[in-house]
Amino acid sequence: MRARCMWCGEIRFAIEDLECAIPARAPEALCGFVCPSCGVPQFRRTTPERAIDYVRSGAQRPTGPFPVELLEPHIGPAISWNDILDLRLAFAEIDQLEAAWRLEGSAPEPASQFDRAA
């Protein structure tokens, strides 16, 4: 097969090295391969019909984790750099609170959602 690696440009690989996830009732399928040149995983959306053709020709179904969330529709505004900085500041405040609790020896017990009713 021939494909484009986002880093190496056009590359070739065996169809047996292609993995295709075809979620039921989804309008798209996801196929991926590891670039034989740089080793970076590459994923592409395609039609379920084309993915089925790839599988019939020798592509594999995913045997491990596969990022089918790439097929989810993207709604809402894009995350901005300010959003990321705000999140980092929020984490820093949590870290400072935890450090203060540790110094006071008053760290709250972690909540358990599996408390037994004895």
**Per CB under 5 A, does 107 bind Zn ion?**
no
Compute the least distance from the CB of residue 13 to Zn ion, in Å: 10
Q: Looking at 5, 21, 22, 30, which residue binds Zn ion (CB under 5 A)?
A: 5
Quick one: tokens of 59? 């592509």
Place of tokens 């089925």: 52
Quick one: 31 or 55, whose CB is closer to Zn ion? 31
Quick one: tokens of 4? 């484009």
Quick one: tokens of 15? 């169809």
Residues 64/34, Cβ–Cβ less than 8 Å: no
Nearest alpha carbon to residue 45 among 16, 13, 23: 23
Quick one: 7 or 101, whose CB is closer to Zn ion? 7
Contacts with Zn ion, 33-62, as mask; x by CB under 5 A: --x-xx------------------------
**How many Cα atoms within 13 Å fall on the side-chain side of residue 69?**
2
Compute the least distance from the CB of residue 37 to Zn ion, in Å: 4
Binding site for Zn ion (CB under 5 A): 5, 7-8, 35, 37-38
